[in-house]
Amino acid sequence: MSRSSAVPGRVRGAGGFLTIDLDAVAANYRTLGTRLGPACECGAVVKADAYGLGLAPVARTLWDAGCRRFFVALTEEGIALRFLLPEARIYVFDGVDQDTTADTAAHRLIPVLSHPGQIETWATYARTQRTRLPALLQMETGMNRLGLSTGEAETLVSDAADIGALELDGAMSHLACADEPEHPQNAQQLDNFRNALAILSPLGLAAASLANSSGIFLDPAFHFDLARPGAALWGINPQPAGPNPMGQVVKLQGKILQTRTIDTPSAVGYGATHRVRRGARIATIGIGYADGFFRSLSNSASAFIGGIRVPVVGRVSMDLITIDVSAVPAEAAQAGDLVDLISPEHPVDDLAREAGTIGYEVLTALGRRFERRYLGGGTGS
Amino acid sequence: MSRSSAVPGRVRGAGGFLTIDLDAVAANYRTLGTRLGPACECGAVVKADAYGLGLAPVARTLWDAGCRRFFVALTEEGIALRFLLPEARIYVFDGVDQDTTADTAAHRLIPVLSHPGQIETWATYARTQRTRLPALLQMETGMNRLGLSTGEAETLVSDAADIGALELDGAMSHLACADEPEHPQNAQQLDNFRNALAILSPLGLAAASLANSSGIFLDPAFHFDLARPGAALWGINPQPAGPNPMGQVVKLQGKILQTRTIDTPSAVGYGATHRVRRGARIATIGIGYADGFFRSLSNSASAFIGGIRVPVVGRVSMDLITIDVSAVPAEAAQAGDLVDLISPEHPVDDLAREAGTIGYEVLTALGRRFERRYLGGGTGS
C-alpha cells in the first residue's frame, strides 16, 4: 500500500509537506521594485517568522535580491534577524520599552516609536549611553492602532531635548484599507500623512514610508521613499478584486494515511456532520487544525489530486482531515500518496476564502509539524 | 508611561504572556482518575506539543501524577517524548509506514495500526528484525476516519502470519460525538466497538480503549480498560452543556503598547470595521493572529482588566489587537500594563466560542512568540 518512493525526503512520519519557492520570493521582490520605480526603495516585512515561511531562508533570499531594509514586530525577532543579516537596517514595529532598550541598542535595531512614552524612554536611554540612537517615527493617520497624533507630533517638534538624543530615520504610517483601492479612507490617510510630514518637516527626516503590499498597487502618490511589502512577497494577491500579479510561493501537500470505501451510508468525523453514501471513498490525511489547517475549513476546503478537486468532508480534527476522493480513480488515492492543499490550482488566497479569512492568517498559522523544503535561493550568491 | 515592574520576568519585548498551571494539570489528571475508578487506567494524549502547552513540562507533570501511557499523533512526537520519559508506554496514533519502521522500533514506540497495509508493514519489519513488535489496533466504529473495518478485523484474526509477528497491546476506537451525551452515535459506536472486540477476542488482547476526555463523562460502560483524555487535562469542559468539572490551566495576558483617547469620531483597524466615538479610549495590544489569536475574534473577543470586560474592537491584525478600554479608569490601562485574554473570568472555552471554534483549536494555536511561565510542577518529585 505504501508508496513512499513518490515522496522525496519523507522522514519520521510528518503528515504534511510544505514547499517554499525562494526563487518566487525573489521574483516577487523584483516585481514590486519594478512597480515602485527607482524613486522608492523597496523594503520587506519579515515579522512572524517571515509570515510563517521561515525567517532565515526568506531574509537571506531577499537580501540577495537587493533588499536592505527589513521590518519585524518584536525586539526578539529583530535580534534573530540581526544574526542573519549583520548589515541590514532592521526596524521593530512594536518599538521599545524599558525592558528592551539595551537589547535594541546592542543589536543596532531601529525602533518604530509610536507614542511619547516610547520616545522619552529611547531618548533617555540614548542620553545615559552618551550616544544618539536611531528611530523611525510612526504617525497615526486613521487606523487608531499605533502612532503619534498630530498634537503629539507638534509637541515633539518643539521638544529639542528628546529629539536631539535621537537620529530620526524617517516617518511612517499604515494604511487600513489599501486592499480596497476605492475606499475613501485611503485618500484620507494620504492627506493625513502629508499633513504629518509637514508638521515633522523641521526635523529633516530622511525617509517617508506609507505603502504596504496593497499600497504599492495604489496611485504612485502613496509610494513616498520606502515601501514595506510583506504579503505580496509570498504570493498573496495585494488587490483581491483583480487578477494576482504575484507568483505563487507556497505549496502544501498532505499525506494519505488510509483510504476507505464506505460500505454502509454513514457519517464522517466529529459531530457526524457529513453523511457519505455507499460506495464513496474517503481518504484520511495527516494534517489538522494543530497544523494551522483551520477548523473553519470543515466541510468547505478544496483539495486536489492530479488537478481534480476532492473536497474536505466532515470536521477538521486536531491532526486529521477526511476528503472525499470518489472523483479520482482508486489507484490515485492510496495510503502514502500526497494530496495538494495549497497549489497552483488552489492558491493560498482560495484556501483562505474557504476558511473565511485572509491568506495572511493561513500563512502565519502554517504549523511546525510539516516537513519543509525550500526551492532555489534567490540570486544564488 | 512604562510600568514594567508590574510584569514579572518580562524580557525582549514579547507581546503576550502565557501562564500554564502544571499543578492544575496534575489535579485534573486526578479528577479524571477518580471519575474512572480503579478498573480503568488513565492515560494522556499529549500530541501537538501537549495541545500547545509544551510537551516536556506537561508530560513530566503527568508522569509524576502517575500516568504511564501517553498518546501522540506523529512518530516524531513519540521520539521527542521517549527522550523525556524513558519508561513510558508511548502510542503513535498515525501508526507506522515504511519510512518510520526503524525509528518506531528504535525508540520503542507503539504504533496504532489502522489498516491492513500498516499491519503488514509493521509485521514484515518485525520478521526482518527477528523480533515481535508491539502494536495497538484501531477499529473503525462510526467516525470513518482511521481504523479497521469489521471485515478487515475478521481477516486479520485468520491471518496467523502477521499476527504472530506482533505483540498486540490492545484495541482502541474513537468517539465522534462524546461531547453530546444524548447523541445516538455514542451508543452505536459502543455497540460497534463491543462487536469488534468480540471479533478480535481470539487474539487475547490485553486492553480495550474507547473513551477520550468527553467519553470519561459518559456512562461507565464507555470506560473499558484504558482512557485517553487530552482536552480535559488542560481545563477544557468535556461536557459543554453542563458546568465545567475541570480546573483552569491556562492564562493568557497581552501587553498594552499604547493607549489613545479618540478626539474625533473615527474608525479602528483594517477595513475600518469599527467606529469609535469621541472620548473613547483604545488600547493597542501586542498580540495578533500570528500568535494564534484568531482573526475571527475581530469585533467579538472579550478581554478583561481587573475583572472588568473590555471588548476587542476592529479587526485582529497579524501582531496587534485594539480594545476599547473606556470602561476602566485611564490609569488602569497604560502602556506596559497587562490585559487578561484567557483568565478565570474568561476561560479558554469562552474565547473559543467568541472565535466560532472549540477550546482545542485555541490551545493548539497558541503561538511561539509568547513568553511562557509554568506554575508548580505536578507532585513535586
The pLDDT of B338-347, averaged and rounded, is: 96
DSSP reduced 3-state for B241 = coil
Angstroms from A9 CA to nearest CA on chain B: 10
- pTM reported for the whole predicted model: 0.93
Q: What percent of chain A stands above pLDDT 70?
A: 95
The pLDDT of B326-342, averaged and rounded, is: 95
Residue B335: its chain A contacts at CB < 8 A? 97, 115, 117-118
**Cell triple for B32:** 479524571
Residue B56, pLDDT above cutoff 80:
yes
Interface test with B, best of A12, A110, A186, A278 (most B CBs within 10 A): A12
Q: Do B266 and A145 touch (CB under 8 A)?
A: no
Residue A192: its chain B contacts at CB < 8 A? none
Residue A11, pLDDT above cutoff 70:
no
Selecting from B47, B258, B289 the residue whose C-beta is nearest the C-beta of A364 gives: B289
The pLDDT of A146-150, averaged and rounded, is: 94
Residue A176, pLDDT above cutoff 60:
yes
Task: Indicate the average pLDDT of chain B.
Answer: 92
Task: Return d(Cα B280, Cα A6) in angstroms, integer.
Answer: 59
Q: Do A260 and B98 touch (CB under 8 A)?
A: no
Q: Do A295 and B335 touch (CB under 8 A)?
A: no
Q: What percent of chain B stands above pLDDT 70?
A: 95
The pLDDT of A289-301, averaged and rounded, is: 96
Q: Do A12 and B260 touch (CB under 8 A)?
A: no
Q: What are phi and psi of A208, to 5 degrees?
A: -120, 140
Residue B9, pLDDT above cutoff 80:
no
Q: Do A314 and B144 touch (CB under 8 A)?
A: yes
Residue B6, pLDDT above cutoff 60:
no
The pLDDT of A263-273, averaged and rounded, is: 86
Other CB atoms closer than 10 Å to residue B265's CB: what's the count?
Answer: 11
DSSP reduced 3-state for B194 = helix
Q: Which residue of A has its CA nearest to B369?
A: A48
- B157-184 pLDDT tens trace: 987 778 888 999 999 999 999 999 999 9
Angstroms from B375 CA to nearest CA on chain A: 23
Angstroms from B381 CA to nearest CA on chain A: 31
- B221-239 pLDDT tens trace: 999 999 999 999 999 999 9
**Cell triple for A99:** 525592558
Identify the pLDDT of residue A381: 41
Q: Which residue of B has its CA nearest to A371?
A: B76
Identify the pLDDT of residue A323: 97
Q: Do A100 and B358 touch (CB under 8 A)?
A: no
Angstroms from B107 CA to nearest CA on chain A: 12
Residue B77 banded pLDDT, cuts 50, 70, 90: very high
Residue B82: its chain A contacts at CB < 8 A? none
The pLDDT of A149-170, averaged and rounded, is: 89
Residue B189, pLDDT above cutoff 90:
yes
Q: What are phi and psi of A355, to 5 degrees?
A: -90, -5
Candidate from A53-62, A111-120, A267-276, B69-78 with smallest mean pLDDT? A267-276
Identify the pLDDT of residue A4: 34
Task: Return d(Cα B24, Cα B45) in angstroms, integer.
Answer: 16
Helix, strand, coil in percent for chain A, rounding step 5: 35, 25, 40
Residue B379 banded pLDDT, cuts 50, 70, 90: very low
Residue A378, pLDDT above cutoff 90:
no
Identify the pLDDT of residue B380: 45
Residue B2, pLDDT above cutoff 80:
no
Identify the pLDDT of residue A12: 58
- B269-308 pLDDT tens trace: 888 888 888 889 999 999 999 999 999 999 999 999 999 9
Task: Return d(Cα A365, Cα A374) in angstroms, integer.
Answer: 18
B131: exposed, middle or buried (Cβ count in 10 Å: 0-12, 13-18, 19+): exposed
In chain B, what are the domains?
4-17+248-375 (2.40.37.10), 39-229 (3.20.20.10)
- B83-118 pLDDT tens trace: 999 999 999 999 999 999 999 999 999 999 999 999
Q: What is the ipTM of this complex?
A: 0.92
Encode A162-219 in three state secondary structure.
HHHHEEEEEEECCCCCCCCCCCHHHHHHHHHHHHHHHHHHHHCCCEEECCCHHHHCCC
Q: Which are the catalytic amino acids of B? A: 47, 270
Q: What are phi and psi of A154, to 5 degrees?
A: -65, -45
Q: Is the dihedral of CA A327, A328, A329, A330 positive or negative?
A: negative
Residue B276: its chain A contacts at CB < 8 A? 144
Question: What residues contact B201, with CB distance under 8 A and at least 6 apart?
Answer: none
- A38-50 pLDDT tens trace: 999 999 999 999 9
**Cell triple for B373:** 511561565
Q: Which residue of A has its CA nearest to B101?
A: A12
- DSSP, res B287: -
The pLDDT of A318-346, averaged and rounded, is: 96
Candidate from A153-162, A245-254, B91-100, B323-332 with smallest mean pLDDT? A153-162
Candidate from A3-17, A70-84, B137-151, B186-200 with smallest mean pLDDT? A3-17
Selecting from B92, B143, B290 the residue whose C-beta is nearest the C-beta of A48 gives: B290
Residue B12 banded pLDDT, cuts 50, 70, 90: low
Higher pLDDT, B84 or A14: B84
Task: Indicate the average pLDDT of chain A.
Answer: 92
Q: Which residue of A has its CA nearest to B105?
A: A12
Task: Return d(Cα B307, Cα A39) in angstroms, integer.
Answer: 52
Residue A269 banded pLDDT, cuts 50, 70, 90: confident
Interface test with A, best of B94, B140, B264 (most A CBs within 10 A): B94
Task: Return d(Cα B200, Cα B169) in angstroms, integer.
Answer: 12
Task: Return d(Cα B291, Cα B298) in angstroms, integer.
Answer: 14
What is the amino acid identity at position A339? V
Task: Return d(Cα A273, Cα A270) in angstroms, integer.
Answer: 7
Residue A233: its chain B contacts at CB < 8 A? none
Identify the pLDDT of residue A368: 85
Residue A116: its chain B contacts at CB < 8 A? 1
Identify the pLDDT of residue A6: 39
Interface test with B, best of A53, A144, A321 (most B CBs within 10 A): A144
Q: Which residue of A has its CA nearest to B334?
A: A117
Task: Return d(Cα A154, Cα B172) in angstroms, integer.
Answer: 69
Q: Which are the catalytic amino acids of A? A: 47, 270
- H-type helices in B201-332, by residue range? 213-216
Q: Is the dihedral of CA A129, A132, A135, A140 positive or negative?
A: positive
Interface test with B, best of A122, A149, A260, A366 (most B CBs within 10 A): A260
